[in-house]
C-alpha cells in the first residue's frame, strides 16, 4: 500500500478549478516532489493531503486514512511545514518545541531536534526575533516533532539564501535517511532534481508528467544539449533537418542545439562530412529546467 494516495482530486475556488483531476501515489521512504509554476495547484493539493481542505471530488488517503474524516489519526503521523504561517510573536523556540511536542503521543526529543537543526543557541529567543532561516528551521523541527511517518514541506527554501538553502537540502536528505517519507512542494528545479526520487509536474491543476528526475529529462524533447563554434559556416538547412532536433540557436557564431543522442551523432557526422572543426565542443545533459519548460509548454 502506498503511504499517500491521491486519485482524481478536484478542488475549485469560486467556480475556478485549482486542482482538476490530480492522481499520484507516494511510496513509503521516498522523497516525492510536486513541481509546477506558481498557481498550478500544488499547495491546494498538499492542503488536501494535510486535511486542511475538503476536496470537492476524488479520494485522498494517508496511511490508508481519510485526512478530513480521520483528522486526528492522520495528524499524528503527518508533520507539516506550511507555506505561510507564523507562531505567536513572543513564544520562545523552546516553548514552541515543548508545546508542539505535547500534542503528540510519542514525540521526538525536542532537545535533540533543536540540536540537529542548529537551534540550540536560540532556545530562549522569541519567534519574532528569529531570522527567516531560523524560523524555517523551527518549522521543520515542528513538522518532525511528532515523530511522523510522512512530512509535507511546502516551498521549504523560498526566501532562503543559497547557503541556508543547501543546508536545508542536507537536512531533507537526513530526514529521508531516517526513514521518513517526504512530500516536497517546490518551484526550484535544482531542488527537485537534487532531492526527489520521483516528481509529479503539475500544471493548470493537472499532472503533466510523473517520473524520476532523469526520466523527465530523458522524455523531454531536448534531453541532450550540444554547443560548438564551427571553423566554417554550416548550411542552415543541414542543421534544421538533423534527426530528433528539439531546438537550435545561433549566438556570436556559436551554435547551441538540443535533441537526442541521435542528434549528437548526426551533428558529428555532418561536421566530418564538411571537414568543419568544432571548437569548444560541449555535450551536456539537459537540466530539469529544460524538461520542465518543455513539459509545461506542451500543456499550454
Partner 1 sequence: MNNALVNPAVLRAEIRLFGREPGSVFWILLFPTLLLVILGSVPSFRQPDDSFGGLRPIDAYVPVSVLLGLLMGGLQGMPQTLTGYRERGILRRMSTTPVRPAALLSAQMVLYGGASLASALLALAVGRLAFDVALPRQPLGYVLALLPAVLAALALGAAISALSRTTKIAGAIGSAALFPMMFCAGVWLPVQAMPDMLARIVGCTPFGAAAQALNQAAAGHWPGWSHLGVTAAWTVLLTAAAARWFRWE
Q: Return residues touching partner 1 (CB under 8 A).
A: 50-52, 72, 75-76, 78-80, 82, 84-88, 90-91, 95, 98-100, 102-104, 142, 146
210 touches 280 (CB < 8 A): no
Q: Among residues 103 and 279, whose Cβ is nearest to partner 1? A: 103
Q: Among residues 100 and 228, whose Cβ is nearest to partner 1? A: 100
β-bridge pairing 57-62 and 31-35? unpaired
CA 211-74-63 angle, 5° bins:
45
Compute the distance between CA of residue 252 and CA of residue 255 in angstroms, rounded to an integer.
Answer: 8
Query: Least separation, in Å, of the C-beta of 233 and partner 1?
Result: 60
Q: Among residues 86 and 214, whose Cβ is nearest to partner 1? A: 86
Length of the chain: 300
Q: Which of 190, 200, 277, 291 is nearest to 233 (CA)?
A: 277
β-bridge pairing 16-26 and 278-285? unpaired
Query: Least separation, in Å, of the C-beta of 173 and partner 1?
Result: 23
Q: Among residues 10 and 98, whose Cβ is nearest to partner 1? A: 98
Compute the distance between CA of residue 90 and CA of residue 129 in angstroms, rounded to an integer.
Answer: 9
Query: Least separation, in Å, of the C-beta of 252 and partner 1?
Result: 49
Q: Which of 212, 210, 60, 78 is nearest to 152 (CA)?
A: 78
Q: Among residues 96 and 207, whose Cβ is nearest to partner 1? A: 96
Amino acid at each position: 500500500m502506498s503511504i499517500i494516495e491521491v486519485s482524481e482530486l478536484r478542488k475549485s475556488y469560486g467556480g475556478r478549478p485549482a486542482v482538476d483531476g490530480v492522481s499520484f501515489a507516494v511510496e513509503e521512504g521516498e522523497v516525492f516532489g510536486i513541481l509546477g509554476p506558481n498557481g498550478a495547484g500544488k499547495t491546494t493539493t498538499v492542503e488536501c493531503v494535510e486535511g486542511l481542505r475538503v476536496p470537492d471530488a476524488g479520494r485522498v488517503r494517508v496511511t490508508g486514512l481519510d485526512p478530513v474524516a480521520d483528522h486526528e489519526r492522520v495528524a499524528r503521523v503527518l508533520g507539516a511545514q506550511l507555506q505561510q504561517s507564523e507562531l505567536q510573536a513572543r513564544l520562545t523556540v523552546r516553548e514552541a518545541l515543548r508545546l508542539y511536542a505535547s500534542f503528540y503521543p510519542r514525540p521526538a526529543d525536542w532537545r535533540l531536534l533543536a540540536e540537529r537543526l542548529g537551534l540550540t543557541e536560540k532556545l530562549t529567543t522569541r519567534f519574532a526575533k528569529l531570522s527567516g532561516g531560523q524560523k524555517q528551521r523551527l518549522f521543520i523541527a515542528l513538522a518532525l516533532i511528532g515523530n511522523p511517518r510522512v512530512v509535507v514541506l511546502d516551498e521549504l527554501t523560498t526566501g532562503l539564501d543559497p547557503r541556508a538553502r543547501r543546508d536545508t537540502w542536507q537536512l531533507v536528505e537526513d530526514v529521508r535517511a531516517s526513514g521518513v517519507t517526504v512530500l516536497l512542494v517546490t518551484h526550484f528545479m535544482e531542488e527537485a532534481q537534487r532531492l526527489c526520487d520521483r516528481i509529479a509536474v503539475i500544471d493548470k491543476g493537472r499532472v503533466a508528467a510523473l517520473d524520476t528526475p532523469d526520466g523527465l529529462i530523458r522524455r523531454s524533447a531536448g534531453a541532450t544539449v550540444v554547443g560548438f563554434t564551427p571553423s566554417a559556416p554550416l548550411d542552415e538547412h543541414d542543421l534544421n533537418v538533423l534527426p530528433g532536433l528539439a531546438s537550435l540557436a545561433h549566438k556570436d557564431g556559436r551554435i547551441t542545439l538540443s535533441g537526442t543522442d541521435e542528434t549528437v551523432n548526426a551533428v558529428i557526422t555532418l561536421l566530418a562530412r564538411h571537414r568543419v572543426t568544432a571548437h569548444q565542443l560541449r555535450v551536456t545533459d539537459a537540466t530539469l529546467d529544460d524538461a520542465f519548460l518543455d513539459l509545461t509548454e506542451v500543456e499550454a
